[in-house]
């Protein structure tokens, strides 16, 4: 190998404005950017292409001075420049770096702190503040970076800043369309925004951003320590509070309680997204697909008459999805006992499955009059359960919800006790 001539590595900055002046000069210019008169190199979309470009530049440098021009800053934004500098230093070759603003410079967030990272550092990055992911070349790498960012946090706002073009936003659940990028093989950076939530306080995205921020490393200690298991009772409590708001007439109070239920959904989705289980988008996709599939009389050509036929068909579709006829599958075992019994009886009737009868179920009123005297003390718990099940059947037959009936009576009892405790002078 002959004595190498001088190698210059220049950055073109974040746009094409400097390309014309860079191309001037005596040295032969190599680049994969659109510089007229320069030697073309392949876009560095994989290691093979990068190695080929480095070899081409170094081979030419054996004969004459050579200049390599890459996008953005000479180091960090361009994998060819990085590899070329490493190889030159490994061979102790004479190399000059000409600095330029990095790719993300024109899109840096003014007036706020931010960090600059590379795609390989996403898993360790602090996404609770603005990050700029740089050194991305090609639509495939961009898609990979965006997917990894969304796995870290499902609510990140992403802006792609391609080389020499205006940045564009990527919705949290959207796939990147390479044809939509002005220069799909050119480098770009991604600017992440962790929380601009109150810009759109009425949007689902804002809620997801708030929850993600609460779960961030410097977020709320209580939210950060929650798990699916620890939130179980909160899910139940919030659901009951929403039911109570309905009983009290709904209105703004109901809106607030439904918001509390929605927070539970968002929290579980965020926890799941952090471990790669699923995202909020998966939750929405699942229920949307299910609703369409289970309403063929609305979204297809099936003809059904009345709500009873609709419910029976709903159960048949569910049984087909499960692949067997266990009519109780899908009735949560964690339901309160009365609610579980009502769901079981209702489902059995819709499927015409029936339920095993007993003396209490056949004639509950007669049983009520004599059951206490007739039942041995050791069997009274069983008998009481049978009697309550009979009451559930009565409520189901007249389209009443025993759980709500009991909850209402509890509230009325509470109010009666409260009044009885008030002194006459008060």
Q: What is the pLDDT of residues 113-159, one digit of tens each?
A: 677 777 777 877 877 777 878 777 777 778 888 878 877 776 677 77
| pLDDT recorded at residue 355 | 44
Give the residue, 26 or 209, on which the prediction is more confident. Answer: 209
Residues 343-365, mean pLDDT to the nearest whole number: 54
CATH code for the domain defined by 7-98: 3.40.1010.10
pLDDT tens for 238-282 read 998 998 899 888 888 999 999 999 999 999 999 998 888 998 989
Residues 103-119, mean pLDDT to the nearest whole number: 68
Give the residue, 225 or 382, on which the prediction is more confident. Answer: 225
Residues in contact with 145: Cβ distance below 8 Å, sequence separation at least 6, in sequence order: 119, 122, 133, 136, 190
| pLDDT recorded at residue 423 | 55
| pLDDT recorded at residue 57 | 93
| pLDDT recorded at residue 371 | 64
Residues 315-331, mean pLDDT to the nearest whole number: 63
| pLDDT recorded at residue 361 | 46
| pLDDT recorded at residue 270 | 92
Specify the pTM.
0.48
Give the residue, 110 or 130, on which the prediction is more confident. Answer: 130
pLDDT tens for 281-321 read 899 998 998 888 888 888 888 888 878 787 777 777 776 66
Q: Which of 56-65, 318-327, 400-409 has the lowest mean pLDDT?
A: 318-327
CA atoms within 13 A on the CB side of 220: 9
Domain extents in the chain = 7-98, 105-199, 226-293, 336-426
Give the residue, 99 or 174, on which the prediction is more confident. Answer: 99
Quote the tokens at residue 167.
């940045």
| pLDDT recorded at residue 370 | 67
Residues 321-336, mean pLDDT to the nearest whole number: 62
CB atoms within 10 A of CB 242: 20
pLDDT tens for 71-87 read 877 776 788 888 898 89
CATH of 105-199, one of 3.40.140.10, 2.60.40.1840, 3.30.950.10, 2.60.40.1180: 3.30.950.10
Question: Which class is 226-293 in CATH?
Answer: mainly alpha
Whether the CA torsion 233, 239, 242, 247 is positive or negative: it is negative
pLDDT tens for 3-42 read 566 899 988 877 666 665 665 555 688 988 877 778 889 8
Give the residue, 356 or 310, on which the prediction is more confident. Answer: 310
Question: What's the first-to-final CA gap in the chain, in angstroms?
Answer: 105
| pLDDT recorded at residue 145 | 83
Q: What is the 3-state secondary structure (H, E, C) of the chain?
A: CCCCCCEEEEECECCHHHHHHHHCCCCEEEECCCCCCCEECCCCCCHHHHHHHHHHHHHHHCCCCEEEEECECCCCCCHHHHHHHHHHHHCCCCEEEECCCCCCHHHCCCCCCEEEEEHHHHHHCCCCCEEEEEEEECHHHHHHHHHHHHHHCCCCEEEEEECCCCCEEECCCCCCCHHHCCCCCCEEEEEEECCCHHHCCCCHHHHHHHHHHHCCCCCCHHHHCCCCCCCHHHHHHHHHHHHHHHHCCCHHHHHHHHHHHHHHHHHHHHHHHHCCCCCHHHHHHHHHHHHHHCCHHHHCCCCCCHHHHHHHHHHHHHHHHHCCCCCCCCCCCCCCHHHHHHHHHHHHHHCCCCCCCCHHHHCHHHHHHHHHHHCCHHHHHHHHHHHHHHHHHHHHHCCCCHHHHHHHHHHHHHHHHHHHCCCCCC
Residue 107 has pLDDT above 70, yes or no: no
Residue 198 has pLDDT above 70, yes or no: no
| pLDDT recorded at residue 152 | 75
pLDDT confidence tier of residue 359, bands split at 50, 70 and 90:
very low
361 vs 367: CA distance, rounded Å: 9
Residue 330 has pLDDT above 70, yes or no: no
Residues in contact with 76: Cβ distance below 8 Å, sequence separation at least 6, in sequence order: 82, 102, 116, 118, 134, 135
Residue 409 has pLDDT above 60, yes or no: yes
Give the residue, 204 or 339, on which the prediction is more confident. Answer: 204
| pLDDT recorded at residue 197 | 46
High-pLDDT (> 70) share of the chain, % = 69
């Amino acid at each position: 190998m002959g004595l190498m001539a001088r190698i210059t590595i220049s950055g073109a900055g974040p746009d094409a404005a400097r390309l014309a002046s860079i191309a001037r000069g005596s040295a032969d210019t190599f680049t994969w950017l659109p510089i007229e008169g320069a030697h073309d190199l392949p876009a560095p979309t994989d290691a093979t292409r990068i190695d080929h470009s480095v070899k081409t530049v170094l081979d030419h440098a054996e004969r004459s001075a050579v200049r390599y021009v890459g996008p953005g800053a000479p180091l960090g934004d361009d994998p060819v420049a990085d590899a070329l500098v490493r190889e030159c230093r490994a061979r102790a070759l004479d190399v000059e770096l000409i600095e330029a603003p990095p790719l993300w410079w024109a899109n840096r967030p003014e007036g706020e702190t931010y960090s600059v990272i590379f795609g390989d550092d996403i898993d360790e990055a602090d996404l609770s503040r603005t990050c700029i992911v740089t050194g991305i070349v090609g639509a495939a790498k961009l898609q990979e970076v965006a997917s990894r960012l969304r796995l870290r946090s499902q609510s990140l706002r992403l802006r792609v800043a391609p080389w020499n073009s205006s940045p564009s936003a990527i919705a949290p659940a959207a796939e990147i369309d390479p044809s939509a990028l002005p220069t799909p093989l050119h480098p770009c950076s991604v600017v992440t925004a962790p929380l601009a939530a109150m810009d759109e306080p009425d949007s689902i995205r804002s809620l997801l951003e708030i929850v993600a921020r609460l779960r961030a490393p410097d977020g709320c200690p209580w939210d950060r320590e929650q798990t699916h298991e620890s939130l179980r009772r909160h899910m139940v409590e919030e659901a009951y509070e929403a039911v109570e708001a309905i009983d009290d007439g709904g209105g703004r109070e109901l809106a607030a309680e439904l918001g509390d239920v929605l927070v539970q959904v968002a929290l579980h989705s965020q926890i799941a997204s952090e471990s790669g289980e699923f995202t909020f988008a998966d939750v929405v996709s699942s229920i949307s697909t299910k609703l369409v599939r289970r309403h063929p009389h609305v979204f297809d050509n099936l003809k059904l008459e009345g709500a009873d036929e609709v419910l029976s068909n709903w159960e048949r579709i569910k049984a087909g999805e499960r692949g067997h006829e266990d009519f109780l599958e899908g009735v949560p075992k964690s339901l309160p006992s009365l609610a579980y019994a009502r769901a079981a009886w209702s489902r059995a009737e819709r499927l015409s499955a029936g339920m095993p009868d007993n003396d209490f179920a056949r004639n509950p009123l007669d049983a009520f009059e004599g059951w206490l005297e007739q039942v041995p003390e050791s069997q009274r718990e069983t008998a009481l359960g049978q009697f309550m099940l009979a009451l559930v059947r009565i409520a189901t037959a007249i389209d009443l919800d025993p759980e709500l009936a009991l909850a209402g009576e509890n509230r009325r009892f509470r109010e009666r006790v409260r009044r009885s405790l008030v002194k006459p002078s008060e």
